Copies of this chain bind each other. A is one copy, B any other.
Amino acid sequence: MRRLPPLNALRAFEAAARHLSFARAADELSVTPGAVSQQIKLLEDTVGTPLFVRDPRGLQLTEAGAAALPSLRDGFDRLAAGTRLMTERGGPRRVVVSAAPSFASKWLVPRLDGFQAAHPDIDVYVHADMQLVDFASGEADLAIRFGRGEYEDLETQLLMAERIVPVCAPALLRGDPPLKAPSDLAHHTLLHDDGRTEDGPSWAMWLAAAGAQEVEGTRGPRFNQSSMAIEAAVAGKGVALAKYALAEADLIAARLVIPFDLTTPTEFSYWIVHPEAKAALPEVAAFKGWLLSQVSPEQGPA
């Protein structure tokens, strides 16, 4: 027989452990910090072990507390998912999708009408943010992230690989001077995506691979979002190094061209990521299936 300590105490612990703060946990639970303190003491008495080290400057989990946290977080995730399954029968369904801002605007949003057409009963909320912070607080249902696919305690599935291509406005090809060889880049403006460095290779790396070491690879404007570099390229401001997925729509619409067909593969890919518990929600499953169908239209996941 399953034996559980007082559930509210467990929940208070889970929140406090997640925030490493009674005050923030209390805020999340809409109670006072004192209440959290009492609940946690009760839990510690029940299980017979201290769960936090109370430094005067903050909290720290004991080994016992740290060992239990992942299971507890996952457990409450599942209770939340189960509750949603009973609450939202027939009501409006929604998925909250988290993605990097550039990916959201350049890849996801242009395709969303396809999802809406296939699932008119599900509303999609796109949550664009730089890092993957939404799951701990329970805000997002599913995320698309660019990286190595190493996300702890989250279910992960490959969406698609990525490669880096140079792009510019078509007019630049016959500009002054024309863009015929990588060395011609010396007389053009290079547009830099200055996001987090791990996101992809820089102009310097690309130029080296293209054998155009003589071109200075650090000049030119820098943007902290890939989409801005791409939009600058569309506007004819220069040549950008772009992730293919983000430039694809502009390439198909002929607002951009690939001047030199030297693409650099990356070790990073796009991943679909979500807490395991979310898999039980049909709207999340539907969105995931649709995402995968966007990549290989005939076939969803295995």
Contact = CB atoms under 8 A, between A and B. Distances in A.
Contact of A85 (B2, B48, B67, B82): B67
A79 B4 contact: yes
Interface string A4-22: 1101101100000000000
A174 interface: no
A76 interface: yes
Interface in A51-65: 51, 63-65
Interface string A286-301: 0000000000000000
A49 B87 CA distance: 7
Contacts of A76: 2, 4, 75, 79
A277 interface: yes
A51 B89 CA distance: 11
Given A67-B89, A137-B1, A72 B77 contact: no
B75 A79 contact: yes
Nearest to A47: B87
Contacts of A277: 71, 75
Given A7-B7, A277-B75, A2 B86 contact: no
Contact of A47 (B63, B77, B80, B86): B86
Contacts of A72: 78-79, 82-83
Contact of A64 (B49, B89, B138): B89
A138 B69 CA distance: 20
A283 to B, nearest CB: 12
B82 A48 contact: no
Nearest to A8: B7
Interface of A: 1-5, 7-8, 10-11, 28, 47-49, 51, 63-65, 67-72, 74-83, 85-87, 89, 137-139, 277, 280
22 contacts: A1-B137, A2-B76, A4-B76, A5-B83, A7-B7, A10-B83, A48-B87, A64-B85, A67-B85, A67-B86, A68-B83, A68-B85, A71-B79, A72-B78, A72-B82, A72-B83, A74-B78, A75-B75, A75-B81, A75-B82, A76-B79, A78-B78
